[in-house]
Structure 1
Amino acid sequence: MNKHKRIFLGLCASAVALATTLSAPAAFAQAYPQKPIRLIVPWPAGGATDSVGRAVAEALRVQLGQSVIVDNIAGAGGNIGTQQFIRQPHDGYTLLLATSSTNSANPYLYKRTGFDPIKDFTPVASLAVIPSVMVVAAASPYKTPADIVSAARAKPGSLSYGSGGVGNSAHLAGELFKSVARIDAIHVPYKGSSPALTDVMAGQLDYMLDTGAYGQIKGGKIRAIAVASDKRHPMLPGVPTFDELGIKGMHMNAWYGLAAPAGTPSAVVDRLNAAVQTAFRTGDLGKRLADIGAEVRPGDAASFAAFWKSELDRYAGLVKLTGASLD
């Protein structure tokens, strides 16, 4: 074989290799998914977070044609499940239900979360936000937040509020309320929102600021007295906002989104994001989320990444304001 022929064949081989490399991501995305997908929800079953996760899992199953298995791995405010998530292959077959508690607040609440809040994740799609609502037992003597403020000031440290765990949205909302209302109240953390709400219903807790109470409110088991948002919630048109009641600075919600491990191919991210957007447009994902009190927030991966970063910045100030800490 002469020199020129060897050079020609070598160039041909290089071209084939390059074409194969360039076409690999597209081919992978076109084939994806070829097996069941695991969705890690780093909170217990029950409550708003689990409901969002299961609604999204079902929507992805319909859109992608593969089973999406919800895996609840609770503990340490979502850190334990998230630590397991970041160690998974970045192939799109393990996803995370990212939340404001774990992915915005925990980096400032814990000295060590076990993950980098930016570098260990690939934002895929924003899903929804759920405003916090102040709730009391149906038979509670407290009719307004002002009643709670008056009672707390009359006997500092005598009132208690619950949350689904130290550092979750209900805890931060409770600490924010203490700060803006200038009161003292005892925080009682639970392993998830459901048992905390049960004790609110029973009168064991005086109040709670929660995002997962809409079902119990509709059922008359607990009473909503204020919404921590800039506008009234469509499911609770008769419940005023804190702003309307003259308590300024009480804006608190939980956000939810879909994430993949860092390094996940962009073609797979685009495939997953498209599945979510289609589910919002043509499926019942939006209705299922609205039924639990969520306001849907569809968008592309880039806009979700920008929102995620802005929420990290916002929670830095919020955690500093409340003085909350887990170490």
Structure 2
Amino acid sequence: MNRTQFLRLCALGAALAVGGPAALAQTYPSKPIRLVVPWPAGGGADAVGRAVAEALRVQLGQSVVVDNIAGAGGNIGTQQFIRQPADGYTLLLATSSTNSANPYLYKRTGFDPVKDFTPVASLAVIPSVMIVAAGAPYKSPADIVQAAKATPGKLSYGSGGVGNSAHLAGELFKSIAGIDVIHVPYKGSSPALTDVMGGQLDYMLDTGAYGQLKGGKVRAVAVASATRHPLLPGVPTFEELGIKGMQMNAWYGLAAPAGTPAAIVERLNGAVQAAFQAGDLGKRLTDVGAELRPGTAASFAAFWNAELQRYAGLVKLTGATLD
């Protein structure tokens, strides 16, 4: 360390000693930030992660590098994340799959679903959409149910991995419809979506297919939300089609390691809210089918807690287990 660096370090220490949290917030961030996305590139989680990384870059004036660390339903990347310093320079794209469902699907996730995280900001929810290949014979969920009952154990649906939103949505549909179909898990939604388009899978309940729907490579036959989706006004909800209880979405939020100083959490949350107000983040998220969920760190923590409870019941209802 040279004399100049030493003096800067001393000045920073003095500022923190005098100003406490306020000084910390003013000096953060002073170097690039890493955003861990525990899913492969190309899927819905990756799209959300890259949107928020760009928004934080603009608001904080530091580069935010997306690090895709996929595997085990998001557990591998999350395990690496919780071992990082609680200094605000490593963040996590928290998802409903990894942070709500996995604690009930895996005997060992490698992390505590509450104690290992500091909720920072809620970002969005994306409703699941039942999609089929553009040339598939199915025009509605009823067609799929009819085909599945005619040939039990023959039809298949895909997901981005055991426990992700597509898997749980698929199991929920199986349970409600009373059908016997095969679940085919992939390492991320992108390869599963590719096989739906190619006809290797019969259908998928996905949250990351809105771009492909625009391109006409797949068709949507129903939306798993309470109301029709703004991007798909011509596609009915399951409720409209008489299939009760078929609602599923994926949620996304920003998290820091446990013990991250409140001043840094406040700074990050403020950056996310400013990005929502500026409009760019909201547009990028709504373009991929998201419904925005701005709010405080405290409101996100309460939502996260409630989702943990909801997914406990959902996993039990569907009977979803590790393959």
TM-score of the aligned structures, taking structure 1 as reference length = 0.93
Question: Who is 1:11 aligned against?
Answer: none
Q: How does 1:149-160 map to 2 (within 5 A)?
A: 149-160=145-156
Question: Who is 1:80 aligned against?
Answer: 76
Out of 17, 24, 27, the residue aligned to residue 23 of structure 2 is 27
- 1:89 to 2:85 alignment: yes
SS in 1 for 2:98: helix
Distance 1:204 1:32, change over 3 A: same
- 1:249 to 2:279 alignment: no
| Separation (CA, whole Å) in 1 of partners of 2:240 and 2:181 | 23
Distance 1:22 1:174, change over 3 A: farther
Question: Who is 1:67 aligned against?
Answer: 63
Question: Who is 1:55 aligned against?
Answer: 51
Distance 1:20 1:86, change over 3 A: closer
Q: CA deviation at 1:283?
A: 3.8
Q: CA deviation at 1:80?
A: 0.4
Question: Who is 1:4 aligned against?
Answer: none
Q: CA deviation at 1:211?
A: 0.1
Question: Who is 2:256 aligned against?
Answer: 260
Residue by residue over 1:204-263, the C-alpha shift from the partner in whole angstroms, topping out at 9 and shown as x without a partner, is 110000000001111110000000000000000000000000001110000000000000
SS in 1 for 2:20: helix
Q: CA deviation at 1:273?
A: 0.3
- 1:296 to 2:292 alignment: yes
Q: Which has the larger radius of gyration?
A: 1
Q: CA deviation at 1:23?
A: 2.6
Question: Who is 2:38 aligned against?
Answer: 42
| Separation (CA, whole Å) in 2 of partners of 1:219 and 1:163 | 21
Equivalent residue letter for 1:229: S
TM-score of the aligned structures, taking structure 2 as reference length = 0.94
Residue by residue over 1:150-173, the C-alpha shift from the partner in whole angstroms, topping out at 9 and shown as x without a partner, is 111111101000011111110110
Out of 210, 214, 224, the residue aligned to residue 214 of structure 1 is 210
Whether the 8 Å CA contact 1:59–1:283 is kept in 2: the answer is no
SS in 2 for 1:319: helix
| Separation (CA, whole Å) in 2 of partners of 1:294 and 1:326 | 28
Distance 1:20 1:297, change over 3 A: closer
Question: Who is 1:197 aligned against?
Answer: 193
Q: Which moved more, 1:20-29 or 1:306-315?
A: 20-29
Question: Who is 2:94 aligned against?
Answer: 98
Q: CA deviation at 1:55?
A: 0.4
SS in 2 for 1:114: coil
Q: CA deviation at 1:20?
A: 6.4
Equivalent residue letter for 2:30: Q
| Separation (CA, whole Å) in 1 of partners of 2:80 and 2:162 | 20
| Separation (CA, whole Å) in 1 of partners of 2:275 and 2:114 | 27
Question: Who is 1:119 aligned against?
Answer: 115
Question: Who is 2:124 aligned against?
Answer: 128
Question: Who is 2:9 aligned against?
Answer: none
Equivalent residue letter for 2:170: G
SS in 1 for 2:22: helix
| Separation (CA, whole Å) in 1 of partners of 2:295 and 2:21 | 23
Identity percentage of aligned residues: 84
Whether the 8 Å CA contact 2:155–2:181 is kept in 1: the answer is yes
Q: How does 1:165-176 map to 2 (within 5 A)?
A: 165-176=161-172
Whether the 8 Å CA contact 2:16–2:24 is kept in 1: the answer is no
SS in 2 for 1:311: helix
SS in 1 for 2:137: coil
| Separation (CA, whole Å) in 2 of partners of 1:289 and 1:85 | 24
Runs of 4+ in structure 1 off by over 3 angstroms are 19-22
Residue by residue over 1:296-319, the C-alpha shift from the partner in whole angstroms, topping out at 9 and shown as x without a partner, is 100000000000000000000000
| Separation (CA, whole Å) in 2 of partners of 1:135 and 1:52 | 20
Whether the 8 Å CA contact 1:129–1:297 is kept in 2: the answer is yes
For the aligned residue pairs, the C-alpha RMSD in angstroms reads 1.4
Equivalent residue letter for 2:131: V
| Separation (CA, whole Å) in 2 of partners of 1:62 and 1:223 | 36
